[in-house]
Structure 1
C-alpha cells in the first residue's frame, strides 16, 4: 500500500506524528506491507534528510 507523506501546514516540514498515525492505521489492516517515498509519498520532492527521518519513523 502506498503511504502518503503528511506535512505540517504551517512550516511545510514532514509531520512525524501524522506519519506514524497513518502507519499505525495501516498496520491494523490485513495488508502485507506498505511503501514510503512512492508516488503518493512525494518521494521525488523530499530531500535526503527527510527520507532518512521518514524511514526512521517507519521502523
Structure 2
C-alpha cells in the first residue's frame, strides 16, 4: 500500500493483513529462543465476566 485506506472495508483488509504479518513476526522471534507464541482473542464479554477473566489471565 502506498497510503492508508480511508474506507471501512479497506481498513479492515489492511488490519487483517497486518495482524497476520505481526503474528508471523512474533512466532519467528519467539522461535529463535525456543519458545512458542500464541494469540488469544479477548472480548468485552470475557473481561466483564470475572470467572472468564480470571481463566483468561
TM-score interval (norm. to shorter): 0.3 to 0.5
Work out which of the two has the higher radius of gyration on C-alpha atoms and give 1 or 2: 2
Provide TM-score, normalisation by structure 1: 0.37
Provide TM-score, normalisation by structure 2: 0.38
